[in-house]
Amino acid sequence: MTRALHPGAWWLWALGLAVVAARTTNPLLLGLVLAVAGYVAVACAQDTPWASSYGVFLKFGLVVIALRVVFHVLLGGVQGPTVLFTLPQLPLWPPALRLGGPVSAEGLVFALVQGLQLATLLGCVGAVNAVANPKRLLRSLPAALYEVSVAVVVALTVAPQLAASARSVRRARRLRGDAIRGRGAVRTLLVPVLEGAFERSLSLAAAMDSRGYGRNAGLSRRARLLTAVLVLGGVIGLCVGVYALLDGSSAGVPVLLVGVLLAVAGLVAGSRRVRRSRYRPDRWRARELLVAASGAVAAMCAVLSGGPDMVVQTSPLSAPHLPALPAVGVLVGLLPSLVAAHRRSA
Amino acid sequence: MIRFEHVTVTYPDATRPALADLDLVVPEGELCLVVGRTGSGKSTLLRAVNGLVPHFTGGRLEGRVLVDGRDTRDHPPRELADVVGLVAQDPQAGFVTDSVEEELAYSMESLGLPDPVMRKRVEETLDLLGLVEVRDRALATLSGGQQQRVAIGAALTAHPRVLVLDEPTSALDPGAAEDVLAALHRLVHDLGMTVLIAEHRLERVAQYADRVVWLPGGARAAVAGDPGAVLAEAPVAPPVVRLARLAGWQPVPVSVRDARRLAGPLRDELPAPPAAAPRPTGDLLRARGVRVSYSGVEAVRGVDLAVAGGELVALMGRNGSGKSSLLWAVQGSGRRSGGSVRLDGVDPADLKPAVRRRSVGLVPQQPDDLLYLHTVAGECAQADRESDRSAGTCRAILERIAPGIADDAHPRDLSEGQRLALVLAISLTPEPRALLLDEPTRGLDYPAKTRLAEALRELARAGHAVVLATHDVEFAAECATRVVVLAGGEVVADGPTAEVVTASPIFSPQVAKVLAPRPWLTVDDVRTAMAAR
């Protein structure tokens, strides 16, 4: 078997698809993104405990759509001429808010596609979780972020264990006759689960200490502070920059650049003390580049093709058309399934 | 290699030291076994070797611990990681990564070894411990024995000079335990590694030890020396040593092989063992074709099991052979995909949980899951309430099984044996007709096991049906009237204890091995027979 792909490549691929989903409310295009992500998730799924989380993400997406629609019906929003039904209206303060009132087909469609957009984003994240182990991604993080990544790894380890122990405690509780109801029942569940989780975290910490974690990690207080400020500033800059870029405002690019600069400086400063090596590090090879590029192509196509087909028309309602360029771009996103098929036959 | 100089460890808020004035030298290349009752300070001793005590646990360490010339006072555990490898009691709780290869590499990554060295050592370790087939698997999907071997391998890859193991075989079936011990034996003999083991199941490890350290607990000094000589005096001793004490063999043997050489006269003079009592009639519990499957995987495939009142049935079999699933399915709280269970003509699964526990009780593998109050008295009072018994019922049962537990003690502060006794008392409070126990002897020392066996026999005498799933062949031989062996979710053997356990060396208790072909199973049986003569 050849090695699994670098998780970074998978995340870039998913990011590309997510950019498409963020740029459009066209349900056809969103559906296409979901289908492509889902196909790749199933075709390239890995044998990790996380692979099964894809279904959870999809269900979560359905919940998001349902919530969006319910909120729209209750609180209103986009109005249109085609009133389907009218709920009894409650006056609220401030008067701009309302509860109940007319519900229009236009508004309903708008809420649906917005929910679908969020669900598609979730689908992209779920797909990447199925194909790339999140722990491996953390392993590829720069050394300056080592402490953070360890904390996340421990959390990722403890979370499924917590769920498992909750299941076994609930099962064991039946042995005591489920006698306690109400608030007491929560306690009978929480006390053993939390005590167990606490003990497990302690033994995990002891195991990590015994196995040399944090050896030679001495770094002066000032250096640590500087690194933290630089990295934090960089991350904030990155977030603001990406948001501005997706939002289409002009401040995006410079803020993003400053963010990248700060983050890189912080990582370099923090990485100077590394005395840790990495077993079989993930490397960027041709296949990784192909996967990442396919995501980038999808994103580029969506960014380049503006035009009315990208947004769904709600007033008046009209059937959406599938825009050619972004659709082709999204289909390029299927490329990883070919690369992965190669992996299986090898 | 390891040197303890007048070491006394006192934990914060403790009234007396956990380890008192210990003087001990373990030379290089020895396999040293630490024995003692529960709470005698075995874990403290082991964890002091790599500095977890007191750097991690807190408390006060007087005296000095030197490992390979390094004082643990100046070296925290992480600075000793290249000298001492520690394998904790529950391997799964110590896993940092989630695949076999990454777990093996973790210590080396912390030590900053270059990638080529790591690749080489991972391959060597996979071969040494027989883990090649599972190298790409997720740790959570491995069997208990494989997980234990991965945990040992993860400690080995850093090439420590000392390996410390806390109860490495306690969760394992007899076969897997032998694999793990054989691997350790190889490390000592081929690589000259110094190994320090604490274990309750001495019948499994004593024969491999070069030296035994007995911690009597309290203020008495530790005794170290030749395995036979030390175990002959200790209250915790494997059956073969107790048999030797009974028969007056000198020098005291610790392996079945040595004992057999001395056992000739005893074999000849013992009368034929009394015939096993006939199976009581009138099945109380009857399960037919029970199936349990989890997401497509069949854990139990059509098991028939009938247990009469007064019977004590031991369910044995490998890790993952379906013992726990079967118990839960029979009790009715767990999943059952097919088949029928009747207890007094009623299917327990159809009963409400509160009613069900009056007909069949279950002591789960993690007894802690049942406890959620802050005091023993509180748990007992709650058990009385939920079973509709008069106040004090549970407390009285507890006092009979394990006398002297304080009312205001926190259940988590009890020893393993006391905690098990508490959960057993809670399960017995509604006086269920049948009682099921899942691995009840884990973490129990010999005296605690003897008390548990007595309690279970008393239950059976009172007409209850008792079923226990266990890996502990000695315990099964001591108390079970019948043994059922499961493999791959199916029954492969079912019969009187003596017949089933003597049929296969892996389920055979030590006394049976020593006295074969005479079918004696326990030291107590032999003692009774000798006294009668």
Scanning the structure block, which residue is given the tokens 């080529």?
B116
- Per-residue model confidence (pLDDT) at position A219: 61
Compute the distance between CA of residue B188 and CA of residue B163 in angstroms, rounded to an integer.
10
Start-end of H helices in chain A: 7-23, 27-43, 53-75, 105-131, 134-139, 146-175, 183-210, 221-247, 252-271, 286-304, 324-332, 335-345
Could you tell me if A2 and A128 lie in one domain? yes
For B63, counting Cβ atoms within 10 Å of its Cβ (0-12 exposed, 13-18 middle, 19+ buried), the class is middle
- Which B positions 28-57 lie with beta carbon below 8 A of chain A? 50, 52, 55-56
Please write the tens of the pLDDT for every residue from B496-526. 999 999 988 889 999 999 998 888 999 999 9
Reduced to 3 states, what is the DSSP secondary structure of residue B342? strand
Compute the distance between CA of residue A226 and CA of residue A232 in angstroms, rounded to an integer.
10
Least Cα distance to B316 among B486, B63, B160 occurs for B486
Compute the distance between CA of residue B326 and CA of residue B306 in angstroms, rounded to an integer.
13
Q: What percent of chain A has pLDDT over 90?
A: 20
Q: Do B56 and A206 make contact, defined as CB atoms within 8 angstroms?
A: yes
Residue B315: pLDDT above 80? yes
- Range B303-312 average pLDDT: 94
Answer for the pair B174, B507: CB distance below 8 angstroms, yes or no.
Answer: yes
Scanning the structure block, which residue is given the tokens 């000849």?
B268
Q: Do B76 and A133 make contact, defined as CB atoms within 8 angstroms?
A: no
Residue A341: pLDDT above 70? no
Could you tell me if A108 and A22 lie in one domain? yes
Please write the tens of the pLDDT for every residue from A171-219. 888 888 776 667 777 877 888 888 888 888 888 888 888 988 877 655 6
**Interface probe with B: pick from A158, A187, A211, A276, most Cβ of B within 10 Å:** A211
Q: Enter the ipTM.
A: 0.85
Could you tell me if A76 and A47 lie in one domain? yes
Instruction: Tell the CATH topology of B283-374+430-488.
Output: Rossmann fold (3.40.50)
Please write the tens of the pLDDT for every residue from B159-205. 999 999 999 988 888 988 888 898 899 889 988 999 999 998 999 99
Answer for the pair A7, A140: CB distance below 8 angstroms, yes or no.
Answer: yes
**Interface probe with B: pick from A189, A209, A273, most Cβ of B within 10 Å:** A209
Could you tell me if A268 and A285 lie in one domain? no
Residue B64: pLDDT above 80? yes
Nearest CA-CA distance, residue B93 and chain A, Å: 6
Q: What percent of chain B has pLDDT over 90?
A: 58
Tell me the two tokens of residue A107: 């508004």
Compute the distance between CA of residue B2 and CA of residue B65 in angstroms, rounded to an integer.
7
Could you tell me if A256 and A286 lie in one domain? no
Could you tell me if A192 and A177 lie in one domain? yes
Reduced to 3 states, what is the DSSP secondary structure of residue B49? helix
Could you tell me if A9 and A129 lie in one domain? yes
Question: Which H or E element spans position B219?
Answer: none
Start-end of H helices in B292-332: 323-331
Tell me the two tokens of residue B246: 């009974």
Which residue would you say has higher pLDDT here, B487 or A187? B487
Distances (CA, A) of A222 to A144, A150, A270: 14, 22, 11
- Per-residue model confidence (pLDDT) at position A49: 66
Average pLDDT along chain A = 81
Compute the distance between CA of residue B32 and CA of residue B164 in angstroms, rounded to an integer.
10
- Per-residue model confidence (pLDDT) at position A1: 41
Answer for the pair B173, B147: CB distance below 8 angstroms, yes or no.
Answer: no
A vs B, Cβ pairs < 8 A, gives: 169
Domain end position, chosen among A239, A255, A279: A279
Chain A CB contacts of B114 below 8 Å: 277
Angle, CA of B167, B134 and A136, to the nearest 5°: 95
Q: Is B63 on the interface with A (CB under 8 A)?
A: no
Q: What percent of chain A has pLDDT over 70?
A: 87
Residue of chain B whose alpha carbon sits nearest to that of A2: B136
Scanning the structure block, which residue is given the tokens 């593998």?
B365
Distances (CA, A) of B75 to A171, A212, B7, B11, B52: 44, 11, 16, 19, 10
Compute the distance between CA of residue B186 and CA of residue B205 in angstroms, rounded to an integer.
14
Q: For chain B, where do the domains classified as CATH 3.40.50.300 start and end?
A: 2-237, 283-374+430-488
Residue B415: pLDDT band with limits 50, 70, 90:
confident
Could you tell me if A27 and A102 lie in one domain? yes
Q: Do B118 and A279 make contact, defined as CB atoms within 8 angstroms?
A: yes
Answer for the pair B103, B97: CB distance below 8 angstroms, yes or no.
Answer: yes
Question: Which H or E element spans position B286?
Answer: strand B283-294
Chain A CB contacts of B81 below 8 Å: 210-212, 215
Which residue would you say has higher pLDDT here, B62 or A313? B62
Which residue would you say has higher pLDDT here, B161 or A46? B161
Could you tell me if A153 and A229 lie in one domain? no
Tell me the two tokens of residue B231: 């175990």
In chain A, the number of structural domains is 3
- Per-residue model confidence (pLDDT) at position A168: 83
Chain A CB contacts of B385 below 8 Å: 179
Residue A76: pLDDT above 80? no
Which residue would you say has higher pLDDT here, A225 or B481? B481
Q: Which CATH superfamily is domain B2-237 in?
A: P-loop containing nucleotide triphosphate hydrolases (3.40.50.300)
Residue A345: pLDDT above 50? no
Amino acid present at A299: A
Residue B402: pLDDT above 60? yes
Reduced to 3 states, what is the DSSP secondary structure of residue A341? helix
Q: What percent of chain B has pLDDT over 70?
A: 100
Domain end position, chosen among A160, A192, A215: A215
Q: Taking the CB of residue A247, how many other CB atoms lie within 10 A of it?
A: 10
Average pLDDT along chain B = 90
- Range B346-374 average pLDDT: 88
Could you tell me if A66 and A181 lie in one domain? no
Compute the distance between CA of residue A33 and CA of residue A36 in angstroms, rounded to an integer.
5
Could you tell me if A8 and A110 lie in one domain? yes
- Range B393-402 average pLDDT: 89
Residue B396: pLDDT above 80? yes
Buried b (16+ CB within 10 A) or exposed e, B330-343: bbbbbebeebebeb
Partner residue facing A211 (CB), from B102, B110, B386: B110
**Interface probe with A: pick from B83, B86, B87, B110, most Cβ of A within 10 Å:** B110
Distances (CA, A) of A50 to A102, B137, B357, B478: 44, 13, 37, 45
Distances (CA, A) of B275 to B207, B260, B271, B313, B520: 31, 24, 12, 18, 11
What predicted TM-score, i.e. pTM, was given to this entire model? 0.81
Compute the distance between CA of residue A42 and CA of residue B235 in angstroms, rounded to an integer.
59
Structural domain harbouring A332: 1-134+281-346
Distances (CA, A) of B178 to B220, B238, B456: 33, 16, 28
Residue A344: pLDDT above 50? no
Q: Do A175 and B331 make contact, defined as CB atoms within 8 angstroms?
A: yes
Could you tell me if A1 and A126 lie in one domain? yes
- Per-residue model confidence (pLDDT) at position A95: 64
Residue B303: pLDDT band with limits 50, 70, 90:
very high
Looking at residue B90, the DSSP 8-state letter turns out to be S
Residue B215: pLDDT above 80? yes
Domain end position, chosen among A230, A257, A279: A279
